[in-house]
Structure 1
Amino acid sequence: MTGPRGEAAGGAPRAGRPGDGPGGDARRRVPRTDVLLRDPRLAAAVERLGQAVVKAAVREAQQRARDGRVPPERVPETALGLLPGTASGLRPVINATGVLLHTNLGRAPLSDAARQAVAEAAGPTDVELDLTTGVRARRGRSALAALRERVPAAGDVHVVNNGAAALVLAATALAADKEIVVSRGEMVEIGDGFRLPDLLVSTGARLREVGTTNRTTAADYADAIGPGTGFVLKVHPSNFRITGFTRSAEVGELAGLGVPVVVDIGSGLLAPHPALPEEPDAATQLRAGAALVTASGDKLLGGPQCGLLLGDRDLVRALARHPLARALRVDKLTLAALEATLSGPPTPTARALTADPAGLRARADRLAADLGAHGVDVRAVDSIATVGGGGAPGVELPSAALSLPEPYAAVLRTGRFPVVGRLEAGRLLLDLRAVPPADDERLARAVRSAGTEGRRA
C-alpha cells in the first residue's frame, strides 16, 4: 500500500518516475494539443498540409516527450521535424537504379512542361467547354489533336486511363461473344500477376490460340478466322525475348485477312527510334495495315499513365462512343500532362535514353572525387542500364555509376531525400543514366549525409 503522497505503507519513499525532480514529472509539462496547434509555425503547416496530418505529427512528438526521448520544451520543433513535405504519402525519390522506366518508382518522370501543365489544370479548366461558343466540346480535344499530329498515320485517336484499359475497351467493343485470334507465343503476363488471357476473357471474348510458343505463321491465323472472329490480336512481348528457332507473322501479312488487326505495342513508342531498332512503334504498325494500335503513355512516350488508341477513324470513334469508354476516361490532369508531353520539349525519358556514355562517366568521376574528399568510400565505375517498364527487352544502355559499400543502400533509401540504387557484386551502384544532371548535387548531399550517419553508427 502507498500513502496519499506516494510513500510506501512503512513510510519508505516510492521509487521515482522518469522526469521526477525539482521541476516535477516532465510528462506533466508536455504542451497540450490545442496549445501546440496555436504555434504560428504549426498553424501555417495546417493551412499547407491539413489538420489531420499536423495533429498526427503533434501526437507523435508528445509521445516522444512522455517517453523521455525529447524534452517537453522541444515538442513544437519535434512536431515540425516530423511533418511530411506534402499532404500526400508519396515521396519523391532519385531513381539511380539504372532502369529508366522503373514500375515501382512510377515509370516515366514528367517533363517540367508537363508538371506545369498539371499545376495549371488543377483549377477550373475548359476541359469540355468551347470558350468561343460557350457550348460543350469534345473532352480533351487539344490533347487528342496533339496525339494525332504526332502520328499522322492514325485516322483518329482516343485516350483511356491505362494501357490495359485500352485493350479491354477494344476487346469489349469488337469481340464480346466473339473470338480473338492470338498467337500462343504472345499470351503474356503483363506484371503483378495480371495475365493477358484473363484480361481478354473478362470482356466476354473467346480466345482462339494459334501457332506455337516459338513459331506462328500467317497461315495459322488465316486457318482460324471465321464468321465468329472479332479481330486478330498482335501483342509485343515487351518484357521478354524468345530467340533461336522462331517465326512471327508481320502485321502486313495479316492485314488482308478480312478482319481488323489490333496491335498492342505496349511501350508507347510513337515513331521509330534509332536507339531501339527492334521496338515496334505506332506509326509503322498503322502504315503496315493495323486497324488499331494500343499503347501506354507512361513508358517510352515519357508522359502520364494513360492508354492510347490510334487507328481507323470509324473504328476509333466507335470505341469512344462505347458505354465502357465513360468508365475508362482520363481526368483533366492526365490530359494536360499528355498534351504537354506530346507538344513540349524532349522528356526526361527521351534525354535519358540518348544520354552520352562519356558524359555520364564524366559526371560519375566528378561526383566520386567530391564525395571521396568528404571521406566517402566511393569510386566511379562503368555500368549497364536498361529501359524497363515493359519496353526494349534485352537492350543494354552503356552508363556510369557510383559504387558504394552495400550498407549505404538502406540508409539512402530511408533518408530525407530517398535515393534508390541497385545491389551488384556486394556493392551499391547508383547509376546516373536516369538521374538528371540537375539532381547531381542533391544526390551528393544524400550520399554525404548517409556517410555521416554510417560513421556515427
Structure 2
Amino acid sequence: MSDQRSSDDPRRAVPRTDALLAEPAVHAAEQRLGRDLVKAAVQRVQGRIRSGELAAPDAVAAVLDALPPTAGSLRPVLNATGVLVHTNLGRAPLSPAAVEAIAAAAGTTDVELDLRTGRRGPRGEAALDALLEAVPAAEAALVVNNCAAALALVATALGQGRELVIARGELVEIGDGFRIPDLLESTGARLREVGTTNRVTVEDYRAALTPETGAVLKVHPSNFVVRGFTRSAGIGELAAALAGTGVPLVADVGSGLLRAHPLLPDEPDLQSTLAAGADLVLASGDKLLGGPQAGLVLGRADLVQRLRRHPLYRALRVDKTTLAALEATLRGPQPPVQQLLAADLAGLRARAATIAGRLTGAGVDARVVDAPGRVGGGGAPEHPLTGVAVSLPAAFAEPLRLGARPVVGYVEDGRTLLNLRSLLTDDDAALADAVLEVAEKWT
C-alpha cells in the first residue's frame, strides 16, 4: 500500500532543474532573457507539479508560458483612456522611426566622434540641428532629461544667489507633489512673486526689477485654470518692458508644441513664443512633440551657451538613445501623438462601429458612444477633443487591465468605455481581440 502511495506521489515526477534548463526551447529563452529569470520560472513550474496542479509532461510548455516577453518588467498597454499624452502610461508613444533610431543607437555609435577626422565631435549635433530647423526663431538649442531639469538648469545658471521674477498665479504644482516654487528655490535662487493669483500686469513685473534680478519667468500653469476676473501679461508685452534692461525673459511652455495648432488655439508653442520676444523657451519632448522624455531649451545663442557651460548641465544631459529618438521624431514621419491629434470624428465613428460590430457578433454587449478625449500631460486643459468610444459592461474594466495585452479604459455611468481617440487604427484589431478574450473567459 505504501509503495502505491509512493508511486502516485507527484513529487517523484518533478523534472530536475538542469533537465528543464537543457530543453532546447527553454535554453533559447535563457539566452534571450537571462538565466536567473528563466530559472525562477522553472522553479515555479516545479512547485506546481509538486502540488499536483500540473502534470510533469506539461512542464516545458508551462515554463515557456510563464516567461515574460522581455527581460524588463514594462508591458505594452493599449491606451483606451482618450488621453493622448497619459503620464501614467508613459506619455507619448514613439514613432516607428524613433524606435528604429533607438535600436541603431543602442550599440557602439559615433555620438561624440567625428568619423572624418577621428577626433572628438560635438554631442547630439544632428538632433540639435533638427530642433533648430523645426523652430527657426531659435538661434541655439540644448537638450536635458526633462522639462523640470531644463527649468532647474535655467534657475541655477541665471538665478542662483539672485532673484527670479514670477507671477503668483504661475507657482503651480506640476504633479506627484512637486511644486514650481520648491524646484526653483532648491537651486539657490530667490523668488520675487508679482501680482495676485488671478491678476498680474506688466507694471507688476517692471516694478519688481532690481540689480538682483536674474531673469523673468513665465511658467505654463498646466491644468490649473483661473476664470472670471483675471489678467496676465503676454510674452510680447513683457519682452517690450524688458528691452534694454539686460534681464532675460524665459518661458516654460510645457507641452512641446512646435508651432501653433488650430485645435489648440490657447496652447503656447515654441516658435510663436520665441518670435514674440522670449529669450529662452523650455518644453517637454515627450508630450505634443511626440518624442522621448526630454527637456528642450531653445533661444538666444549666448544664453544657451551659458547653460551648456554650467557644471549642472553635465548631470542633466541625455544619452545617445534619447538623442537618436528625438532626431528621428523631428525628421521622420508624423509621430503617433500628432496622428491622434489629427483624427477626425467620422473616422473614429467608423472604426468604433467596426469594432462594436465584431463584438456584438460574438455576443458581447458593445455600443458606440460619443466620448470626449483630452490632450493630457497638462496641455490644453480647456479644449476637450471630440472622441468616440466602444461602450461595454462595467465588469470588463478590470479583466481588460489584467489581460495578456492590457487595455486601460475607464468606467463612466456604469459602463466601461474604450475611447479610440487615444488609439491608432492599427490597434483596433488588438483591442477587439482583448475584449473577446475576456468575454470567452466569462462564458
1:82 counterpart = 2:66:
yes
AA aligned to 1:186 is: E
Unaligned runs of at least 5 residues, structure 1: 1-12
- CA shift digits 1:406-426 (9 cap, x unpaired): 111111101101110011111
Contact 1:27 1:72 in 2 (8 A): no
**Equivalent position of 1:135 in the other structure:** 119
Q: Which runs of 4+ in 1 moved over 3 A?
A: none
Q: With the length of structure 2 as denominator, give the TM-score of the two structures.
A: 0.97
1:189 counterpart = 2:173:
yes
1:345 aligned to which of 322, 326, 333: 333
SS at match of 2:431: helix
2:105 aligned to which of 121, 132, 135: 121
AA aligned to 2:124 is: G
SS at match of 1:248: coil
**Equivalent position of 1:10 in the other structure:** none
Contact 1:30 1:73 in 2 (8 A): no
**Equivalent position of 1:100 in the other structure:** 84
- CA shift digits 1:337-365 (9 cap, x unpaired): 00000011111000100101110000000
Contact 1:238 1:391 in 2 (8 A): yes
User: Of Structure 1 and Structure 2, which has the larger fraction of its residues in helix?
Assistant: 2
CA distance in 2, matches of 1:346, 1:276: 18
**Equivalent position of 1:383 in the other structure:** 371
CA distance in 1, matches of 2:259, 2:192: 30
Contact 2:172 2:224 in 1 (8 A): no
CA distance in 1, matches of 2:178, 2:53: 46
Unaligned runs of at least 5 residues, structure 2: none
1:249 counterpart = 2:233:
yes
AA aligned to 1:261 is: L
**Equivalent position of 1:3 in the other structure:** none
**Equivalent position of 1:8 in the other structure:** none
Matched ranges for 1:101-180 at <5 A: 101-180=85-164
**Equivalent position of 2:207 in the other structure:** 223
Matched ranges for 1:406-445 at <5 A: 406-445=394-433
CA distance in 2, matches of 1:387, 1:215: 26
CA distance in 2, matches of 1:24, 1:349: 59
**Equivalent position of 1:9 in the other structure:** none
Matched ranges for 1:21-36 at <5 A: 21=5, 23-36=7-20
**Equivalent position of 1:320 in the other structure:** 308
AA aligned to 2:12 is: R
- CA shift digits 1:12-60 (9 cap, x unpaired): x89x9xxx74733111211111111001000000111111111111111
CA distance in 1, matches of 2:21, 2:194: 67
Q: Which structure has the larger Rg?
A: 1
Contact 2:10 2:51 in 1 (8 A): no
Contact 1:210 1:220 in 2 (8 A): yes
CA RMSD of aligned residues (A): 1.2
AA aligned to 1:135 is: R
CA distance in 2, matches of 1:309, 1:217: 26
1:236 counterpart = 2:236:
no
- CA shift digits 1:217-268 (9 cap, x unpaired): 0111111110111100001112122111100011112123221111000101
1:68 counterpart = 2:52:
yes
Shift of 1:133: 1.2
CA distance in 2, matches of 1:235, 1:58: 53
CA distance in 2, matches of 1:453, 1:172: 57
Contact 1:36 1:76 in 2 (8 A): yes
SS at match of 2:391: strand
SS at match of 1:177: coil
Contact 1:101 1:389 in 2 (8 A): yes
Shift of 1:454: 1.8
Contact 1:384 1:396 in 2 (8 A): yes
Matched ranges for 1:231-310 at <5 A: 231-255=215-239, 256-257=241-242, 258=245, 259-310=247-298
CA distance in 2, matches of 1:419, 1:401: 13
**Equivalent position of 2:353 in the other structure:** 365
Moved more, 72-81 or 289-298: 72-81
CA distance in 1, matches of 2:170, 2:256: 18
SS at match of 1:326: helix
- CA shift digits 1:133-186 (9 cap, x unpaired): 111111011000000100110010000001100000000000000011100000
SS at match of 1:336: helix
2:42 aligned to which of 20, 42, 58: 58
Moved more, 299-308 or 396-405: 396-405
AA aligned to 1:277 is: P
**Equivalent position of 2:342 in the other structure:** 354
Percentage of identical aligned residues = 60
AA aligned to 1:324 is: L
Aligned pairs, how many? 439
